[in-house]
């Protein structure tokens, strides 16, 4: 597996484009429409928000993923098309029909995604201009612009791509994502699109995509809220000409790992760009009864408001870390727990060590922090990535709409 360039346009047969349609504000010149197109039908799989309150595009894309085939993903920023009722859903279908007409494919082959303000009707005239402008400028160098067009409070675009050896040659996987508050429902929130030229059926792609999401996007935290629009889509068009990826083969496993790797790169990029973040914190938990329970403990620490403020304060507060592990709902023996912060063991067998407070504090001045928790109650392991909770986070989110 090697890192490559060009994001969603890295795999063969994919083109992308972006346009400025003034979705949020008429006349604005900021890119706010993105289009990804495959030159042949592709298998499609998706993972979506589990929020009961979900946006119209989520409902629509779920249906497409059930059918399993797609030709394009159109996405806009500036308006989430959430809390917009049945009319919002009709707007999604209308957008798909328009794009399908221009791309000469079935409307049911065009995924439509939105991110931005909630509760505002989509400005369909301007959106239609965006669709037309995107179709007119599709190219195999358009991935970067597309990644930029879906940004909202993000400060940098997020792209990733790798190649991976499979039977009969090399397949490529590309990706782009947006999201800065892990979720800010008025700027509803995480979108991630993957492309690949591997040959794989949708029913075989879906479990790999879900597993990749579980160990990447589901292992990050900026704040703890879950968006109404969170969408992860993957198109697989087979243009690499390599052999079909079938469950139970080595190539299938390698491809799954590569998919997880691209998702992980994008997920970590979201945390690094987290609202108000001054730290990027990796939480590693091992010795849990199993991997899923390790993730549960790691997530509990990553989400803890008190741990996150301690990271911000550069405070080696092992008490808060042990405490958050303790209420994760996982059975372990507190008297066996070790905690390491920046490589220094601060808690051993449930009791504080004679560590040097000055030394730990000095190491916590670094931007990237590492917390390791050993539960010594099994062989389960997981890693979670989180940002700190800063004064700026509160300011950003308190003042968001004003």
The catalytic residue positions are 189
Within 52-91, which residues bind a copy of itself (CB under 8 A)?
52-54, 82-85
Binding of a copy of itself at residue 322 (CB under 8 A)? yes
Binding of a copy of itself at residue 4 (CB under 8 A)? no
> Closer CB to a copy of itself, residue 297 or residue 383?
297
Binding of a copy of itself at residue 394 (CB under 8 A)? yes
Binding mask 152-191 for a copy of itself (x = CB under 8 A): -----------------------------x-xxxx-x---
Within 219-258, which residues bind a copy of itself (CB under 8 A)?
223-228
Binding of a copy of itself at residue 36 (CB under 8 A)? no
Binding of a copy of itself at residue 347 (CB under 8 A)? yes
Contact yes or no for 127/23 (Cβ under 8 A): yes
Q: Could you count the other beta carbons within 10 Å of the beta carbon of residue 351?
A: 9
> Closer CB to a copy of itself, residue 160 or residue 322?
322
User: Least distance (Å) from a copy of itself to the CB of residue 268?
Assistant: 21
User: Least distance (Å) from a copy of itself to the CB of residue 400?
Assistant: 7
Binding test (CB under 8 A) with a copy of itself, winner from 25, 40, 247, 400: 400
Stretch near a copy of itself under the rule CB under 8 A, chosen from 5-13, 29-37, 171-179, 313-321: 313-321
Stretch near a copy of itself under the rule CB under 8 A, chosen from 17-25, 66-74, 232-240, 304-312: 304-312
Rounded Cα distance between 258 and 251, Å, is 10
Of 158, 159, 156, 210, nearest in space to 9 by CA: 159
Q: Which residues bind a copy of itself (CB under 8 A)?
A: 50-54, 82-85, 118-119, 181, 183-186, 188, 223-228, 303-306, 309-310, 312-313, 315, 317-320, 322-328, 330-332, 334-335, 337, 347, 350-352, 389-391, 393-395, 397-402
């Amino acid at each position: 597996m090697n890192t490559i360039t060009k994001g969603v346009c890295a795999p063969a047969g994919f083109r992308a484009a972006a346009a400025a349609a003034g979705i949020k504000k008429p006349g604005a010149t900021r890119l706010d429409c993105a289009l990804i197109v495959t030159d042949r039908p592709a298998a499609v799989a998706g993972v979506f928000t589990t929020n009961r309150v979900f946006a119209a595009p989520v409902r629509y894309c779920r249906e497409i993923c059930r059918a399993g085939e797609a030709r394009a993903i159109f996405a806009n920023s500036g308006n989430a098309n959430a809390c917009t009722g049945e009319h919002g859903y009709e707007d999604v279908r209308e957008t798909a029909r328009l794009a399908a007409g221009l791309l000469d494919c079935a409307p049911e082959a065009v995924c439509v995604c939105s991110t931005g303000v909630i509760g505002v009707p989509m400005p369909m005239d301007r959106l239609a201009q965006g669709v037309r402008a995107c179709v007119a400028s599709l190219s195999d160098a358009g991935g970067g612009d597309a990644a930029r067009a879906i940004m909202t409070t993000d400060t940098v675009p997020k792209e990733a791509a790798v190649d991976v050896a499979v039977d009969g040659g090399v397949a490529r996987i590309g990706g782009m994502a947006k999201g800065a508050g892990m979720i800010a429902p008025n700027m509803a929130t995480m979108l991630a699109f993957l492309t690949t030229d591997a040959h794989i059926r949708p029913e075989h792609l879906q479990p790999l995509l879900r597993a990749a999401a579980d160990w990447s996007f589901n292992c990050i935290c900026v704040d703890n809220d879950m968006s109404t629009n969170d969408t992860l889509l993957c198109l697989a068009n087979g243009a690499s000409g390599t052999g079909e990826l079938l469950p139970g083969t080595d190539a299938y496993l390698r491809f799954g790992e590569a998919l997880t790797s691209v998702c992980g790169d994008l997920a970590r990029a979201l945390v690094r760009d987290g609202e108000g973040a001054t730290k990027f914190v990796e939480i590693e938990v091992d010795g849990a009864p199993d991997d899923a329970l390790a993730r549960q403990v790691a997530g509990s620490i990553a989400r803890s408001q008190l741990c996150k403020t301690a990271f911000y304060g550069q405070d080696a507060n092992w008490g808060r870390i042990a405490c958050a592990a303790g209420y994760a709902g996982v059975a372990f023996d507190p008297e066996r727990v070790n905690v390491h912060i920046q490589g220094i063991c601060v808690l051993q067998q449930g009791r504080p060590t004679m560590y040097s407070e000055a030394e730990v504090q000095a190491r916590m001045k670094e931007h990237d922090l590492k917390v390791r928790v050993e539960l010594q109650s099994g062989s389960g392991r997981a890693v979670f990535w989180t940002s700190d909770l800063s004064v700026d986070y509160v300011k950003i989110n308190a003042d968001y709409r004003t």
